[in-house]
Structure 1
Amino acid sequence: MVTPNISQNQKPRTTRTLKICLLVSTIFLIIVATIILSLVFTIFKPKNPIVNVYPIGLKNLKFFQPNLTSVPLNMVVTIKNPNYGTFKTKNSTGYINFQDTIVAKVPIGPNIFPGHKTTNVSTIADLMIGILISDQKFLSDVGEDGSFNLTAKATLQGKVHLINVLKVKATVNIFCDVFFNISSLDTDSYCITKIKL
């Protein structure tokens, strides 16, 4: 009695099945990659955050006290994340300038900025009053109408977490003009931001 050679008959069938599986898998991966890229460049396209700076406790600031070199300036920075991803940042430092002179450093701790939400960040700047009042331009500005302008710069570095799967390194550069009116104890700010992935 002769036993038929089964393995040789099944070999072409197994190879064909393997090729079909590989082809289907490749097509599936291409479709998934296309969908992800479409989402990244449309829905998940990064938008610049919206930032506002609010100095608080201005009535406690004593600009013209003798022998006073610095005063703490409490600040609240509101950051609205218009993106879908959550932005997790590391420790960083902001700088406040009058003209081209640094007059305060602003410590910014690590934070989490959820997507489509506004987060308040509280910090304290050690404002170097001694440097300010020794600047003739500052005295001229304040003497004219009781107001002056400062600029604030900060760079936030961290990672954007998308749909709990993708983690992308990101940097947000912030540049603000901050207006102070000593007479009315009023402030206003205008900020420009730029996100880089």
Structure 2
Amino acid sequence: MGREFLELFEGWASDYDSTVSGHDLEYKEVFQDYEKILKEVAGRAGQNVIEFGVGTGNLTAVLLHAGKKVYGIEPSGAMRQKAAEKLPDAELHNGDFLEFPKPAFPIDAIVSTYAFHHLTDEEKDQAVGVYGTMLAKGGKIVFADTVFKDRDAYQAKIREARSRQFISLARDLETEYYTTHAVMRSLFSKHGFAVSFSQMNPFVWIMEAVKQQ
């Protein structure tokens, strides 16, 4: 459920905003056009939104500024604290992609940025299945995350990272559960969604999945 990476995020909370701002050379391309990605996700979302992996609240802020009702889920206490400091009126809950308190209001969108790769493909399948039961026809899942066209593209990025001496990035790519378009397309289809992919930078794609029935 991604909680095996919780210690990483507890320690990263204080420096996360600096990283996404491009101050870490190894991850500069990963977070290229970060603000644009957040705005694009928010623009594709509906009015009543669950956000998974709130982190320090950057997407949450964009969603709230756009007038959305946001129900935030974040497993890291340190990250939730940072988000609460920025957004004292935000509704934030302890949980993850699979185990979380359900909102009392109906939702029409589920969003996340830079987080879904913390789940194995099997867990991603389970999660999309759960979300399919929560959304009515026309409801959306809008995730921005690192995902690859195919396994060759994935391996090429690892080789590129190592050739540039980006050892932390290479280790990250090899350790976490990055997947492919084919896998995501298959599991979204399995649970009644039609999905499209929009590339936002050399690593990140927006996956917009619409419930068909």
Give the TM-score taking structure 1 as reference length: 0.24
- Larger radius of gyration between Structure 1 and Structure 2: 1
Q: Which is richer in strand?
A: 1
Give the TM-score taking structure 2 as reference length: 0.23
